[in-house]
Each structure stands twice: as structure tokens, then as C-alpha cells.
Amino acid sequence: MDDFRVLGEHKVAPLGCLLDSFLTRQIETEDLEEIISDCLNKGVNFYHFAELDVTIASKVNGAIKKSLRENIMIGATLIKFDGQDQNFCLESHSTDISTWLDALQTDYIDVALAERIDLSPGLDYVTSVVLPKLKSLKESRQAKYIAVSAYEMTPLVSLVKCSQIKPDIIVVYNRYTLQDQTLATYLDFFKDHGISIINADPFALDLLTSRGPPEDHFADEGIIEMANLVNNLISKSDTDLEKIALNFGCFDTRLSCTTIRFESSNKVARYLDMLGDLTAKDRKCAETAIRKFASCNPGNWEGEERKRACTGCGLLEKGDNLC
């Protein structure tokens, strides 16, 4: 890829690699090294390890070492919130940065990440405990940038407005897609505060793919049904839903990077070949998809992840409303 954008102060390709459990439960870990090698050869230079799994990091380390370290950026989750706030313990939800450094055989992590602050015990906890912890890693030069991620926008906006320590980068899941364009409303706000934005997963957890969403997707039946309808309409138009969804999630140059899951070496070539190649018919299908999804109410799944997490840990009985 010849087109580069800026993440922090580094040049990155507009498309990055997202490595998380949603990906690794679909493929064999042994295939990851080949996938990463193909990504590197194609110019992908940002890799987001979004799970507390150093085994994955070790598996792909062989591929990463083949590239000059200064030419790639690595983001790693150091703290992950899951919505189960009762007796929350930071240590049990954290991975020490030295563990990541050992697994990746590097002296530093480019992006030290607190994952899903919208599922944290609260904004005060993030500002008083989490961000100071990440800042100390930046000051010790074990990390170049500090970052937070979320699906819900309100915690991210409040954090930027209120916190004395501000993240260098924010990662937003599933909010700049054909199904939901909420992030677009806030891009200028974040940029005005000097914050780089990563758009994670424009396929919305497979909602916008030909194979469709998994059974445990967080969206309600209305959104799922509309996704199926959109998929059928686009198929009849002899166009490709994934191609349209991918380009829509990448085209806004205010986004520093858009990260996706590459499930195979074939997908690496396919997705990268799709970029910047939309026909008039593709654009018309994109407009139709956006219009169709706009009729869904609710148009997102805010609160559903926390509700399921709390139901699973006994904090909520099934059917209760989440405060």
C-alpha cells in the first residue's frame, strides 16, 4: 500500500491488523505467522493485539522479526475491562508490559492500551488509576503512546473533556460502518484535541459480511434482520458487501487507521485488493445500506455487552434492566 496516514507521529497504512479472540477462535493459531508475513509483505504495518494472549504474540513474533522494528507499530492490551465490576481487581485484568516485551522480543510497545473503558467500573477509575499507570510506561519509554478503546462513545468523549491525562490514541469498535456512523460525528472533536483515531472492525463483528453474524452477536433481532436484508439486496446487485463495507470504513482520512481481522492468507490479498476500487453501483449500494440501517431502532447495541456480562456473573437476573 502506497497510501499512508499518521498514527501518533508515525506513518501507517490505512488498513491495520486486529488480533483478538473473535479472530483466533475462527482459525488455527499456527496459521497466524503466515497471515502476518503476508500482511507485512503487502505493507500493513500496524498490529493491534486486543486480547490478553501472549501466546498469540509469541506465535507471530517470527514473522514480525523479519521486518525492521522501526517500520511497524504494535499495539498491545495491558488492561482489559469486561463489565463485571463486582470486586474488580486491576491485577487480574492486566498483563504486565514486561510479559508483552518478552513475548514479542522488543524493547518497547508502540501503543499501550486500556481495552473497553466503557465496560470499566467508572470514568473516575480510568482517570485516577488506569491512565496514570499507562502514562508511567510512556515516561519509562516502554511505550510510545497510550490509548483507550470503547464501543460506546460517551465515555470516550467524557474522558477527553475531563481527564488531566489524555490518551494519544483512541480505538473505537464498530461505530464507523455501513450500519452505524456515530464515530463520524466525533472525529473533529478528537482531532482538535490532538488524538489519533483507529476505526476497529468496519464489518461490525461479521454483521456486514456474506457469512453473516455469529449467533451470539450483541445486536438485537431488528439489526440482524436488516443486515440479512441488506446482504440479499447487495448480492442481487452483483456487488460485494465486504468490499463496500471495508472501503466505507477506510475512506475518511481523519481516521489514522482502520483495523480488521485477516482470517487467512487469501483474505489478506483479497481485502487489500479491494481498497479504493468502488464502482458507481457499489456507492449506490452503500447509500442504500446506510438508509436501511438508519431505520433500525435501536440502531446500536450499547449496554448489551455489560448486561450479558453482569447476567453471567450473577449481578443481573435475566430480564432485569441495567442501571
Three-class secondary structure of residue 19 per DSSP: strand
Range in 104-108, 140-144, 190-194, 317-321 with the lowest mean pLDDT: 317-321
Per-residue pLDDT tens digits for 142-188: 999 999 999 999 999 999 999 999 999 999 999 999 999 999 999 99
The CA-atom distances, in angstroms, between 295 and each of 197, 215, 256 are 27, 22, 29
Q: How far is it, in rounded angstroms, from Cα 184 to Cα 192? A: 14
Give this prediction's pTM. 0.91
Q: What is the DSSP letter of 172?
A: E
Which long-range CB contacts under 8 A does 90-93 form with residues at least 24 apart?
A: 90/129, 90/130, 90/133
Kindly give, in sequence order, each residue whose CB lies less than 8 Å from that of residue 193, ignoring residues fewer than 6 positions away.
160, 166
Q: How far is it, in rounded angstroms, from Cα 316 to Cα 321? A: 8
Using alpha carbons, select from 74, 157, 66 the residue that is nearest to residue 112. 74
Range in 78-92, 108-122, 147-161, 288-302 with the lowest mean pLDDT: 78-92
Write down the pLDDT at residue 30.
Answer: 66
AA letter at 35: I
Per-residue pLDDT tens digits for 130-145: 999 999 999 999 999 9
For residue 197, the cross-strand partners are 170
